[in-house]
Amino acid sequence: MLRSYLRPVLATFAMLCAVPALAAEAGKIIFVAGAAQVAGKPAVLNAAVQEGELLTTGAAGYIYIKTVDNGMFILRPNTEARIASYHIDAANPANTRIKLELLHGVARSQSGEAVKLARQNFRFNTPVAAIGVRGTDFTVFTDQEVSRVAVLSGGITMSGFGGGCRPEGSGPCEGAMARELSASQRGQLLQVQRSQVAPQLLQGGSLAPDVVAPPRPDEPGGKLGGAAAATGAEPSLDPRKSNSLQQIVANQVAGGDKSSIVDKTPEAVTPPVAPAEPVVVAPVVPPRAVNWGRWQAVAGQAATTALSQAGSDRLAFNDTFVLFRAKEGTAYVTPEHGSVGFNLSQSEAYVKNQSTAALTAASVENGKLLVDFDKSQFTTSFDLLTQGERFALKNTGEVTRDGQMFGGAVLGSGGANTINVNGVLSGKGDATYLFQGRLDATRTVSGVTYWTK
């Protein structure tokens, strides 16, 4: 009898559990032009956009979406994207989860209030990369093989998918291969190609998202200004206003009413002859300088630098040394083709006994460094000599477009004769890298090498 009673109750409970959770509203459409669809239906002005709905634009289509936290998500022509999730917890921002997905085309993201309070929980995915923010306005181009991002204000962090960076993750990927880009790096962008984890820093030019799909003249700027910002009004986005004004003028001309039209031919005026301007020769800006030093006192020798240096970016450091590149100067961009070999010019290394913490100076011999620009790859090897012992160390790694070199341990983590390499090529035709690795169960090595052609 009890079983008969429970059977319909359990069936009803099962049906309730099977009902999917309703998607939340992520924003509303504040401008639409040309061919544009939301969830397979024509996009409508002021319509709500729900989480997970597919957004598409045609060859001349645009959609501007104001998110529920007053951010912006803008799709330009020939674009497909979605707001995968937009869950906001105002009481506890740590629970906020926001994810945007650009499948192909060009889109712009302008952080809203909730994103700025929970940047660690914002993710912008493309088919090949993950983008996180620092409170930002940025544009992205992507297809199935490559993604490029440029920053209008603030900064972003970008990483290709691989290792611990997965498409299904949330928040930015901030591993060793992640790279940052800020609005101060004007004219530059980050690029990730499929199966490439560390982004490349490139000069924008024709590759910039704003060049691939330029913004409309009425696209909102970095910040709402003037009366719109003060009153909370939407930005003026309706192109019909200018079209209507032009039509009024055209009608007046057709009807013979020229009262509001000024039609005067100015008298010819001979312009004064301006004095010849002096020829100004632009100064030659040297390449960004690279330097290194010991940040630890070693074997009776004092430290020569700190871990930070005014006017320079820290590129890498190990147990003993730190590597810097100056902020000022001409940026280095690697060639797209060819290769170059380097000779070891200078080095310094120390072996550390992990049991006693004792440090012993070591020397480096038979150094080789070859950079293959076609493959964006380097190979290096050398012999390390310490107290009558010789260790053959080598590494193969990646070279980014701005000349940075990254290479993990070649024989697996913790294995013998393995080194990690972090370094940089400079515009002066030389190279410097720091290395660190394990020699055996009790000893590690850290050092620096300087190379010339």
Domains of the chain, start order: 19-212 (2.60.120.1440), 290-452 (2.40.160)
Which candidate, 180, 99, 189, places its Cα nearest to that of 141?
A: 189
pLDDT at 22: 54
pLDDT of residue 235: 41
The whole-angstrom separation of Cα 418 and Cα 406 is 14
3-class secondary-structure state, position 18: helix
| pLDDT at res. 283 | 63
CA angle 228, 229, 233 (to 5 degrees): 40
State both tokens at 425.
């090529």
Cβ atoms of residues 320 and 294 within 8 Å = yes
Residue type, 66: K
How would you classify residue 39: left for phi > 0, otherwise alpha for psi between -120 and 50, otherwise beta?
A: left
Task: Give, in degrees to the nearest 5, the angle at Cα 133 between 433 and 217.
Answer: 115
User: Average pLDDT, stretch 364-380?
Assistant: 94
* Residue 204: predicted pLDDT: 86
- Residue 280 pLDDT level (bands cut at 50, 70, 90): low
Backbone φ and ψ of 339, nearest 5°? -150, 165
In this prediction the pTM is 0.49
Query: Which DSSP string corresponds to 175-215?
Result: STT-EEEETTSTTEEEEEETT--SPEEEE-GGGSHHHHSPP
300, pLDDT greater than 90: no
Higher pLDDT, 289 or 229: 289
